[in-house]
Amino acid sequence: MSKIFLPRRRFLQISGLSGLGLIMGGCGAPWFEQEVFRATEPFNQSIEALLLNPNKLIPEFPLSSIEPDALLVNTFDRTPVIDPDKFRLKINGQVDRPLTLSLSDIHKIEPVKMTIRHVCVEGWSAIVGWGGVRLRDIIALSQPQKGIGYVNFKSADGYYESWDIVSALHTQTLLAYEKNGHPLPIDNGAPLRLASPIKLGYKQSKWITEITLLKEKPKALGYWEDQGYEWFGGL
């Protein structure tokens, strides 16, 4: 008997564990949606975390599959003005070696390229070729303390986001400074942004200026999560 393979997110949708699609489809009352979401989100997130294999590579696409105009520009507040020469990335929190890195420092770390699909919660996607450094290589330089469970990101435009440490250390989670073989455009998050095939677009912060490693989940989970979006945001 042949096995039927369901993509991870489709499995969660069918089982009612992601986005609450089957529940919300028949409910129009916002208060009901909010209460159901609060009650079920921790279970949803635990299932998503369980299904994430930190050692499994997500299949990438050939360069010929890149969709150069498909990555839409979504701005949280405004496009910040950043001087690349003065830019510094701070890595702090519960670490033994807090860091302040220039772009020159970051470019000295082993570069990585990958061609992956960027998926937006709004329903569109784009295949993009990213270049940058593995986030885990940056994290390792700061010598995290034992028991780190979360990573918090702050951006130059005021956006904030947090990830679980397993997702942050995934080998395909990048701090990107290139897009489709060219320097990353400011509208797409230059000089540094997150890029990963395991998270939805709203988790992939642009214009990152600070990375904080934490043992406890932050109270401010993320800009959109604090307005009701799912925190894990996995694919």
The domain spanning residue 80 has which CATH number?
3.90.420.10
Structurally, the chain folds into a number of domains equal to 2
* Contact (CB, 8 A) for 214 and 150: yes
Q: How many helices (H) and strands (E) does the chain have?
A: 6, 10
One domain for residues 150 and 187: yes
The pLDDT of residue 222? 97
* Contact (CB, 8 A) for 184 and 207: no
One domain for residues 29 and 126: no
Tokens matching residue 5: 């393979």
**Residue 35, domain extent:** 8-51
One domain for residues 158 and 97: yes
* Contact (CB, 8 A) for 230 and 169: no
One domain for residues 111 and 134: yes
One domain for residues 82 and 153: yes
pLDDT, one tens digit per residue, over 103-132 is 999 999 999 999 999 999 989 999 999 999
Tokens matching residue 119: 């998926």
One domain for residues 39 and 77: no
The answer to whether residue 152 scores a pLDDT higher than 60 is yes
One domain for residues 108 and 199: yes
The pLDDT of residue 9? 44
Residue 198 lies inside a defined structural domain of this protein: yes
pLDDT, one tens digit per residue, over 207-229 is 999 999 999 999 999 999 999 99
For 124-151, what is the mean pLDDT?
97
Tell me which of 29 and 216 has the higher pLDDT.
Answer: 216
One domain for residues 203 and 96: yes
Arithmetic mean of pLDDT over the chain = 83
Q: How confident is the model at residue 45 (pLDDT cuts 50, 70, 90)?
A: low
Q: How confident is the model at residue 52 (pLDDT cuts 50, 70, 90)?
A: low
